[in-house]
Amino acid sequence: MENLLTNILSSSIVSGLIALIITKITEGRIKSSFDKRLEETKKEHTLEIAKFQSELDSLKARENFKFTKLHEERFNVLKKTYTLLNKCRNDLGLFVAEIKLIPRDTTFEKNEERLHLNFIASNEELLKYIDDNLIFFKEKD
């Protein structure tokens, strides 16, 4: 009986150890398989992230280029507006000046008419330019 009990006990221990070994081997293979798949997925995602980052950088560069071009154009419009405004102001100053130099070959009335027409022309040029480029002037909130 003791021998039978020892045989049963030893066979159950051996079968338990074999089951444990098989379980650990299977567990290791499954873990290894999952680790490989996880690494592959990480690698794929890293590549996708790099691709998206590259696309994002490209889009940023294009937007910065557009933004820069827009500001360059706006600066040019402001520069020309300032030039036209100064011309208009100068023509107005000449037209309303209290002391005027009148060329010898003209009369006071003709000189006044010429100064008036110069002012009107420069004023109209300024207003037309501003109207044509109104998009570049920021409205205050």
Convert the pLDDT of each residue in 13-65 to its tens digit: 777 778 888 888 888 888 888 889 989 999 999 999 999 899 988 888 888 88
| Residue 141, in any domain of the structure | no
Asked whether residue 86 carries a pLDDT value surpassing 90, the answer given is yes
- Domain with 76, as residue range(s), is 2-136
| Residue 22, in any domain of the structure | yes
| Residue 68, in any domain of the structure | yes
* 114 or 141: which leads in pLDDT: 114
Residue 72: Cβ-neighbour burial (10 angstroms; 0-12, 13-18, 19+) = exposed
Residues of the chain above pLDDT 90, percent = 45
Distance CA 102, CA 111 (A): 7
Task: Count up the domains in the chain and report the number.
Answer: 1
Other CB atoms closer than 10 Å to residue 115's CB: what's the count? 19
Distance CA 31, CA 23 (A): 12
Asked whether residue 1 carries a pLDDT value surpassing 80, the answer given is no
| Residue 53, in any domain of the structure | yes
Enter the pTM of the model: 0.56
**Among 86, 60, 65, 85, which Cα is nearest to 137's?**
85
Residue 101's SS3 state is coil
| Residue 35, in any domain of the structure | yes
Residue whose entry in the numeric block shows the structure tokens 């995602």: 45
